[in-house]
Amino acid sequence: MKGLALIGFEHSVYTRAVRMALHEKDLAYDYDEVDPFTPAGQAALVGMHPFGRVPVLRHYAFVLYETAAILGYLDDGFDAPPLWPKGAKARARVIQVEGIVDSYLYQPLVRQVFSHGIYLPHLGESADPETVAAGLAASGTVLDALEEIAGAGLVLNGRDITRADCHLAPMIDYFAALPEARALLEARPALAHWFGSMAERGSFAQTRPDFMDRLVGTD
């Protein structure tokens, strides 16, 4: 067990990013489900995450939040396979992709397009079509940036899995669940090829929330 415990939420893309890395590195861990969108979940996160979010990783007494930091810790602190490429340029691209995901992608592609286009309707809650449209409109720049990086081939190449692949794949999976969004992804051939390769990995399939398979199938 190596003293690892993950506090996460099953439907959280950030939680899934960490689970993918744990799976890729073949690390066993305990798992505590905490829904950060409920008062009970917020109460459970007090003392672990000052911003009330998931995931949180515990390694014995060491507590860590922020997905990029968790992915780095799992990669550096545990045995191969590495999720960190060789070479300064490829490493810089990994950090760049993780920055793009957190700063420019999560909000429009996940919180706007996926939440309002797929998730809230699935839960029977009210969703806003204008929010979906705003997210789709904002997604082009993000996808173009990732297409350029994937096309250059140092990372997001479908061969050498890195922390960036784990960080990004769950979010593209959610985004592409909406047909209009899927078309935007498929218009970017390098990124679409990368996503197709990710979708074939055990770490992707085994961490995918069940409702996604029911809603959009497994391709």
Ligand X SMILES: N[C@@H](CCC(=O)N[C@@H](CS)C(=O)NCC(=O)O)C(=O)O
Minimum CB separation from ligand X for residue 111, in Å? 8
Minimum CB separation from ligand X for residue 193, in Å? 26
* 115 makes contact with ligand X (CB under 6 A): no
Q: How far apart are CA 11 and CA 20, in angstroms?
A: 13
Torsion angle of the four alpha carbons 79, 160, 192, 104, in this order, in degrees rounded to the nearest 10: 60
DSSP, collapsed to helix, strand or coil, labels residue 57 as: strand
* 83 makes contact with ligand X (CB under 6 A): no
* 166 makes contact with ligand X (CB under 6 A): no
Q: How far is CA 107 from CA 23, 111, 138, 189, in A?
A: 26, 5, 10, 23
Task: Tell me which residues in 43-82 interact with ligand X (CB under 6 A).
Answer: 52-55, 66-67
Q: Are 219 and 199 in contact (CB under 8 A)?
A: yes
Choose which of 4, 6, 7, 13 interacts with ligand X (CB under 6 A).
Answer: 13
Q: How far apart are CA 45 and CA 73, in angstroms?
A: 20
**Angle CA 111–194–25, to nearest 5:** 85
Minimum CB separation from ligand X for residue 36, in Å? 4
Q: Which range in 8-16, 134-142, 151-159, 185-193 contacts ligand X by CB under 6 A?
A: 8-16
* 212 makes contact with ligand X (CB under 6 A): no
Rg, Å, the chain Cα set:
17
Residue closer to ligand X (CB basis): 4 or 192: 4
The string of DSSP letters for 79-105 reads PSSPSS-SSHHHHHHHHHHHHHIIIII
* 99 makes contact with ligand X (CB under 6 A): no
Residue closer to ligand X (CB basis): 58 or 193: 58
Residue closer to ligand X (CB basis): 6 or 190: 6
Minimum CB separation from ligand X for residue 210, in Å? 17
Minimum CB separation from ligand X for residue 125, in Å? 15
Q: What tokens were used for 201?
A: 């990995």
Residue closer to ligand X (CB basis): 102 or 160: 102
Tokens 């197709």 -> residue = 196
Binding residues for ligand X, rule: CB under 6 A, are 9, 12-14, 36-37, 52-55, 66-67, 102
